[in-house]
Structure 1
Amino acid sequence: MAIARFPTFVIDCADPAGLAQFYARMLEWEVKEAEDWFEIRADYGQCICFQKVDDYTAPEWPGQDKPQQMHIDVVVDDLDAGEAAVIELGATKHSHQPGTTFRVFLDPAGHPFCLCSD
């Protein structure tokens, strides 16, 4: 039997409202707000949370001076269409692209995330 259940990812950032909106629009999830804390939730229950951190410093991937602490992989039907859509939402395509079945981007707070082909 599991010790715990229903894991939730919590992402540190300077602007939790803005980052929650970015991911909510990408995933078509609902945004819920609390003081210095935002969450997005799918209708089936999965959740990602965003908390405000004063003096937040974005990771600098792939370097290790300010390493990523996490990243999110999401599956898309078409990498080119997905790329155009996330860039329109405010993502930046990273210059380092180590694979052919996925593409690396930075969210508006500088966290790496990947669009992956199925």
Structure 2
Amino acid sequence: MDAYVRNIVLDCADARELADFYTRLLGMRVIREDWMVIAKDDDSFPRLAFEEVAGYRPPLWPDQEREYPQQMHICFGVDDSAAAGELALRLGATRLSEAGGSCPVFADPAGHPFCLCGPGE
């Protein structure tokens, strides 16, 4: 069996808005609009997909005591974590506590935590 990560799906209140954030942050493009999916191109993996959920509640970083605690976060590799962090903030991200990690941690506009890891981080 040959397996690979096809899509990483993020729940959210507004799929189009969150797809726009990540296309601008990561230099990807929308490849499916019926179910918002973004990727570098039509044949690349993994892809990010966004699913609208009624009553969506964002996770809290790094709070695990909440009724719906954070289940995961994504670490993105970038050439320059400082420049990528500045771009993320301009696009609507929020800076979060690093909680002992080595990479800068942010929350996207829907509240999902993600890291921007530069070379060697």
Map 1:46-65 → 2, pairs under 5 A: 46=45, 47-64=47-64, 65=66
Specify whether residues 83 and 39 from structure 1 end up closer, same or farther in structure 2 by C-alpha distance, changes over 3 A only: same
Shift of 1:5: 4.4
Q: Structure 1: 5+ residue runs without aligned partners? A: none
Provide the C-alpha distance between the structure 1 equivalents of 2:98 and 2:4, rounded to a whole number of angstroms.
34
Post-superposition Cα deviations, 1:17-41, rounded to whole Å, max 9, x if no partner, equal: 000111111111111311xx31102
Instruction: Write the letter of the residue equivalent to 1:42.
Output: K
Provide the C-alpha distance between the structure 2 equivalents of 1:6 and 1:106, rounded to a whole number of angstroms.
22
Map 1:46-85 → 2, pairs under 5 A: 46=45, 47-64=47-64, 65=66, 66-85=68-87
Instruction: Write the letter of the residue equivalent to 1:97.
Output: E
Instruction: Write the letter of the residue equivalent to 2:15.
Output: P
TM-score using structure 2 length: 0.85
Shift of 1:98: 2.9
Please identify which structure carries the higher strand content.
1
| Percent of paired sites with the same residue | 46
CA RMSD, 1 decimal:
1.6
Q: Structure 2: 5+ residue runs without aligned partners? A: none
Match of 1:41 in 2: 39
- Bigger shift: 80-89 or 103-112? 80-89
Provide the C-alpha distance between the structure 2 equivalents of 1:38 and 1:48, rounded to a whole number of angstroms.
8
Match of 1:23 in 2: 22
Specify whether residues 101 and 19 from structure 1 end up closer, same or farther in structure 2 by C-alpha distance, changes over 3 A only: same
Provide the C-alpha distance between the structure 1 equivalents of 2:58 and 2:99, rounded to a whole number of angstroms.
20
Provide the C-alpha distance between the structure 2 equivalents of 1:102 and 1:111, rounded to a whole number of angstroms.
16
Instruction: Write the letter of the residue equivalent to 2:115.
Output: C
TM-score using structure 1 length: 0.87
